[in-house]
Amino acid sequence: MTARQQRERLEREARHLAPGASEEAAVGRRVFAEGRGPVLTDLDGNQYLDFAAGTLTQSLGHGHPEVVAALTEQARRLWNVHDSATPDRAALLELLAGLLPERLDTYALFSTGAEVVEAALRVVQATAAPGRNRIGALRGGFHGKTTGARMLVHWDVGHQSFAGNSILGYSAYCYRCPLELTYPSCGLRCASLVRKHIADKPNVSALVFEPVLGAAGVVVPPPGYWEQITEACRSNGVLLVADEVLTGGGRTGTFLASEQFGVEPDLVALSKGLASGFPFAVLAGRADLMHHPAASGAGAYASTYAGNPLGIAAARATLEVIERDRLIERVRVLGELLHERLHALPARFENLGDVRGLGLLYGLEFVTDRASRTPAPHLARAVYSTALDLGLRVALGGHILRLAPPFTIDEPLLDEGVGLLEQALERVLS
């Protein structure tokens, strides 16, 4: 329940704040005042374990001292000189080169996820062969809300979609297979249809995809899915553009989720996990694409906040800590614990239809009953609110809750968080 001081602020701001907040904010109705490591504190002094890691941004938790120091020091020196070089930029680029696959050795810096997806689309469009004017996307993919990115998102994200020049392929959403098949007897029909689509349509220049669908509820494709699709893209000259805005930076147990599926993208969009919540994004790409004269004319990768010194400082400190403290290995270890605890839940709760994920990224899908699998957003909302009241913050979207704790959390706190989730499930579903 929202306590007194928070209620007062929410009432005041509601007079002027535009509606259209995320479900999380609208249902949660909390005013967060402070964050330290995995813990948030609201204005009335209540504390929450943050298993949404900000908005999947706080890989190091909130207020990591090294990031605070880097930002503070940079704030004293310099804030914005457009995209001119600053002393730390070379080191940041070298860090990225050490973390990303060797073929992705050229980077352009931006400030948001949607902005970097737009930049990827510009590179695709600039380098595409004549006549290749369509872009492939996958059902359930989310890529941002700017016009170009929105063309790739064929579902309701708060305002109307328009498909533009994008065409849609099947994602491997096995729990709700749109083809009404079951893995593995389906023989990955979804992948073969995408393959056929790609082969039949010579005007497609690129496939923009999340290797694991994030916003749609952490949809992890089964083995074989990506192999078939990437092979089809390769043999038909279709670029692979991985949107790893949410999955990139180690969240799934490898720096890129693509690595786990054998996908070798030509371009990758990165943002959320890279700079501890500071606006920062990277388009990583093959040198020949990023340097292509049609894609790299004067100003092509520049914008007001692109690569600003504060973003660079935050990203550099975050990535240095991730690398030095071997936090991606830590994601794998903690991920196994999370996997074990979460996968035990559906047996206890009939309305928990599916639990899936990898690394420190999980989705819980709520249904009215197991047989019909009818989505139950009211249950997801009730569990979300109850968990908040108990001191656990997760991410809410429709009938799905997502869990994404910081990489730096210790085992007892991870356990405590899952315990709070269990209590919330018991209160709402039992």
Ligand X SMILES: Cc1ncc(COP(=O)(O)O)c(C=O)c1O
Residue numbers of the site for ligand X (CB under 6 A)?
112-114, 117, 142-144, 210, 214-215, 243, 245-246, 271
**Closest distance of CB 9 from ligand X, Å:** 24
d(CA 256, CA 404) in angstroms, rounded, equals 16
d(CA 255, CA 22) in angstroms, rounded, equals 28
* Cβ-based nearer residue to ligand X, 52 or 379: 52
| Burial bucket for residue 76 (CB in 10 Å: 0-12, 13-18, 19+) | exposed
d(CA 54, CA 406) in angstroms, rounded, equals 9
* Cβ-based nearer residue to ligand X, 62 or 143: 143
* Cβ-based nearer residue to ligand X, 48 or 142: 142
CB count, 10 Å around CB of 283?
Answer: 28
* Cβ-based nearer residue to ligand X, 39 or 211: 211
Instruction: Name every residue whose Cβ is closer than 8 Å to that of residue 386 and which is 6 or more positions away in sequence.
Output: 423, 424, 427, 428
* Cβ-based nearer residue to ligand X, 24 or 422: 24
- DSSP characters for 275-322? TTTSS-EEEEE-HHHHT-TTT-STTTT--TTTT-HHHHHHHHHHHHHH
Terminal alpha carbon distance of the chain: 21
* Cβ-based nearer residue to ligand X, 273 or 424: 273
When CB distances to ligand X are compared, the closest residue is 113
**Closest distance of CB 144 from ligand X, Å:** 3
**Closest distance of CB 115 from ligand X, Å:** 7
d(CA 313, CA 317) in angstroms, rounded, equals 6
Residue that has been written with the tokens 């931006």 in this structure: 110
**Closest distance of CB 270 from ligand X, Å:** 10
**Closest distance of CB 124 from ligand X, Å:** 15
**Closest distance of CB 43 from ligand X, Å:** 25
